[in-house]
Structures are given as structure tokens and as C-alpha cells.
Amino acid sequence: MDFYRSHVLTCAGTGCTSMDSRLVRQGLHDELAKRGLDKEIKVLETGCFGFCNMGPIMVVYPEGTFYCQVQQQDITQIIEEHFIKGRPVERLLYKGQEAQATTEMENIEFFKHQERVVLSNCGKINPENIEEYIAEDGYFALAKCLDMTQEEVIDTVKKSGLRGRGGGGFPTGTKWDFAYKSQSDQKYVVCNADEGDPGAFMDRSVLEGDPHSVLEAMAIAGYAIGANKGYIYIRAEYPIAVERLGIAISQARELGLLGKDIFSKGFDFDIELRLGAGAFVCGEETGLLQSIEGKRGEPRPRPPFPAVAGLWTQPTLINNVETYANIPRIILRGADWFAGMGTEKSKGTKVFALAGKVNNIGLIEIPMGTTLRTIVYDIGGGIPKGKNFKAVQSGGPSGGCIPAEHLDVPIDYDSLMSIGSMMGSGGLIVMDEDNCMVDIAKFYMEFIQDESCGKCPPCRIGTKRMLEILTKITEGRGEPEDLDNLQILASNIKNTALCALGQTAPNPVLSTMKYFRDEYEAHIYEKKCPSKVCQALLSYVIDPEKCKGCGLCARNCPSDAISGKVKEPYSIDQSKCVKCGECMARCKFGAIDKK
């Protein structure tokens, strides 16, 4: 066995990879070899650390020094200062809002309020090395379960209070029990890794950083319900996750942890990958089953539920990535340990993708019951440029907007439902004072309408009518009755759509109308967009006191709407203006504003 004085963990998740972390890692490899230090210092790739906007990230152990935004040109200094002289490179350390350099991860505000359970191995182990997963007690939970009865395994999951992390929040142990009690010679276990919400990247990051946790959990589920076959349905747009899952499955088979007679207990279980083409509707469990069967991805009527008649009409257990990733931890540490975190009805932790108008964008894991204020201001570092917080969209297209008045509401299933939103799979998109909530509602309705499978008229036609009304409002053609029509359409869709995706499609519109009705009314009655986002309602004007008469705006106006004399204030003919904003972008004196 080789011993090293330092181990360098470098992020190989999608975020850091997109910022050329591979080049940084290879450059570090090459420079260490060139200096003869490659026998003393080992460079490893790992999954996402979570602090995505600080990438590429590099952590040096045993010191635990956390370097952020590392570039190729920084490699020489890191080697000479840190590895040769033994002192950290100050300029690459994270500096918080108080501009004080922080050496170790646990001292960084972003990580202080988190409780990493699902993400405990992400950023810690090499996801392409099964031995590192085993060193962190990997597959010990599966071994333990094979010495338990099926009922005991299911009872442990029930007692933990784990609820489905895919959006619905259905009790996981109860779902397992339904599948176990369904009688059939063939049963299946399916992992829903078709993460389609805009701004969501939770499942992708878990699969990239800790794929074996999901494989182990699926094997445990297979034993518990009496299944010998599993499928992971993952979108093809996740190439790194797909590659690492393939490697993980092969490694598990080689060690006899998947396949025949696992742990010599007479238990058979194997897993296959199925790649999706990126249809949002395939995130709905029955639509996903249709796709695995090679059919068009359309939801099926329920009942029967998949636990009774799922894949190829056989009993099928479906959970998402995060739900499965909790299972090995629950089995090893006990149901009481897991139930000791979170709230009375929402146990454990929840992984969120924190994105949008927030300083610290990234992947976070917090105990259920943590407030939105803690997430946005303590973990997220607040709103950029001192802007005011306006809302958070939770749950993606199926969720709703949470306004500032609910910043102190605990994040759990029931609390979010009570204010018109939902947990969803875990996307949190932060918005500030510059976001138009009517435009946001229109964006999500465009997404839903485009992704509708078209099977049921309420979703196919109803969302199209809602989008037409929203478009009409943002273009200045809105009428008072449009607000009533949106409410009526939303109610009809929620009550009659075939699947949960259709039934929740109106949520972004309903929540924005509830909390930001004044913005809708301003669009309709005043023909103004208060946030100055909707182009059709804007007017570009030139401040004569600031205008220097350079003529640059006029020369770049595509509609010849700007006129004037050199060295005298110019003016814009509103009847000719196409509201492209080119004049404002070109003005060097800040003389043009939009109203």
C-alpha cells in the first residue's frame, strides 16, 4: 500500500467540470510528477462539494484546506507555497462577506447550517472507486438487511418516517409495504433519476458523487419487496452521472454485490440503466414506466398503482434518487437516528439546489424545518448587489412562489403546502426585486405547456389557454376578466388533469396571483410592468440633462426612432420604438432609462 503525506480532492461534478476542473486536475498531476512529488501527494477526483459558484474546488488533506475558483495558472503557486513551504495560498481561500479568509470547510458559513446525510460522501470519496465507498461502510447495510426478515427491513423504513423525496412526500415504508404484499412471481425496483425541473440538479449530483449508495439501496429494496431486477431511469443529458453509474454497476457485479447469490444468502438482484430523452412527463412515475417499456411516455390512469401493477403489469416499487440514498444510512444508524432530525411529520434532511438571485449558488442539505431565511441569508449569503429579496420558487413547475412574508416558515412538506407551494424534488430559485412575477408565471407555463404529453385535454388545452392569457397580459393587452379566467382554468385543470404534473401545473400562476396580485393589476389596468421586465410595456426615454448629444444611440437604433442634433439632447419617438433596448445598452453616459 502506498502512503502519501497529502491527498488533494478535486471536484469532478458537472459544475466544476464545466469550469475546466479536469484541466486543473491534469495540470496538477503533471506538475507534481515533473517535480518528483507525485509519490508524496495524491490527486483524486470526487463528486460535488456543493459550493458550486466557488468552483473549481480543491481540498487538501490532512489539513482540510479549502481552495476555491482554482485555475491552471494557480497550480505552480499551490505546489510551491502549500506543498513545499507548508503554508496555504491566501488568495485562493474562501473569503466571506466580512472578507476574512477561511481555511477549512466547516468554518465556512455555507456549510455551517447544513446536515449532510445524503451528501455525506459527495466531495469525500472517489465515485469511480467502489473500495472507497466500502471504506465508508458501503454495502454493510445490504449485508445487515440480508440477516433481517423482509418485514423487519420495511418496518425500519416505516419507523424512520422517511417520505418520498421526489415531490409527493408519500411515506416510503408504506409504499414498500404495498409492493411487498402484492403477490407475483416477478417484481421490479425502479429508480426515478429523470430530474426535469428547471434549476434542479440534486439527483444528478448524488449520482455523480455517490452512485453506490443508490445501487445498495435498490438492492435493499429488492430484498424487502421480493424483487430480483432493478432499473435506473436517467436522462441522457446527464453524461457524467450515466458514466459513473455504469462504472459503479460493473464494479458491484465484479465483487458479487449485484447479481446472483449476493453475500451467499441466496438473494439475486441486478440493475440496468435506461436512458430517457429528456421529457418532463417521464418524471411522473407511470409515464416513466411507459418509457422503460419502450412506449410513448404518457401517464397511466391510477389505480392500479405501480406497487400493484407497474412495469409490464407486475408489482413495481418506484422511488427517486434522494429517497434511495437515505436508505443505507437509515439501516446502519437506525430509524430513531433518522427520525431524530427534522420535524414531527417531516423527518430527516432535504437536499436542495439553490439557484437564482443569491450569492452562494449550490447544492445544500438541511434538516427539515430549517427556515427559508436561514437558507437564503445564512447559507445562501443573501441577495447580490444589496437587492431586496422578493420570492423563492420551490418545487419547480409543480410548486409555487414563496414571498418575503413567509421567509420564516419552516421548510417541510406540510408548511409549504399550507402557503400554496410544495417541496417538489428540491429546486429553490431565488428572485429579487427585479423579477416580474407575471413573467415568472408565464415562464413556467411555457415550460409546462411545451412539456405536456397531450394525453388529457385539461392539461393539453387548459395550459395553452392559460399561457395565452399570461402572454396577453405581459404584452399590455390584458383585461380585468383575465384574472377570473385564470382562476377558473386553474381550478378545472387541478381537478381534472390525469396525472400529478397536470394537476399541479397551475400552481406557479395561482401562487403569484395570491401574493403578487398588484403586479397583475398593474399590467392590466396601468399597462405597466413594475419590475420593468415585460418589453411590450416599457418605454425608453432619454434624460436631456444627462444626454451629451453624441448620437451613438441614434446610429444603433434599428427602427430609426431616435433623432437629434450633435451636442444637443436626443429624443425617442415612442411610436417607432421597438423596445429592443439597444440604445440603453450603447449609451456611455447613463442618459437612457426604461420606464
Q: How confident is the model over 209-223, as pLDDT tens digits?
A: 999 999 999 999 999
- Segment 110-137 shows an average pLDDT of 96
Q: Where in the chain are the domains?
A: 6-108, 130-339, 349-432, 437-526, 539-594
CATH code: domain 130-339 is 3.40.50.11540
> 398: pLDDT confidence band, cut at 50, 70 and 90?
confident
CATH 3.10.20.740 fits 349-432, yes or no: no
- The chain-wide mean pLDDT, for the chain, equals 94
pLDDT at 3 over 90: no
- Segment 78-83 shows an average pLDDT of 96
Q: Smallest Cα–Cα separation from 546: which of 504, 498, 588?
A: 588
- Segment 530-554 shows an average pLDDT of 93
Each residue of 480-517: pLDDT tens digit? 999 999 999 999 999 999 998 899 999 999 999 999 99
Q: What torsion, rounded to 10 degrees, do the Cα atoms 541, 545, 551, 556 define? A: -30
Each residue of 169-178: pLDDT tens digit? 899 999 999 9
- Segment 366-392 shows an average pLDDT of 96
CA 206 to chain CA mean position, Å: 11
Q: What torsion, rounded to 10 degrees, do the Cα atoms 431, 433, 438, 439 define? A: -70
Side-chain half-sphere CA neighbours of 520 within 13 A: 23
101-102 and 94-95: which strand pairing? antiparallel
Distance CA 405, CA 411 (A): 14
Percent pLDDT > 70 in the chain is 99
pLDDT at 473 over 90: yes
pLDDT of res. 424? 79
Q: What is the pTM (predicted TM-score) of this model?
A: 0.93
Same-fold call for 437-526 versus 539-594: no
**Considering only the top CATH level, what class is 539-594?**
alpha beta
CATH classification of 437-526, choosing from 3.20.20.30, 1.20.1440.230, 3.40.980.10, 3.40.640.10?
1.20.1440.230
pLDDT of res. 19? 94
CATH fold group of domain 6-108: Glutaredoxin (3.40.30)
Mark out the alpha helices in 210-307 (DSSP H runs). 211-225, 239-254, 285-292
- Segment 553-563 shows an average pLDDT of 94
Mark out the alpha helices in 293-374 (DSSP H runs). 321-333, 335-339, 372-373
pLDDT of res. 439? 97
> 98: pLDDT confidence band, cut at 50, 70 and 90?
low
pLDDT of res. 421? 85
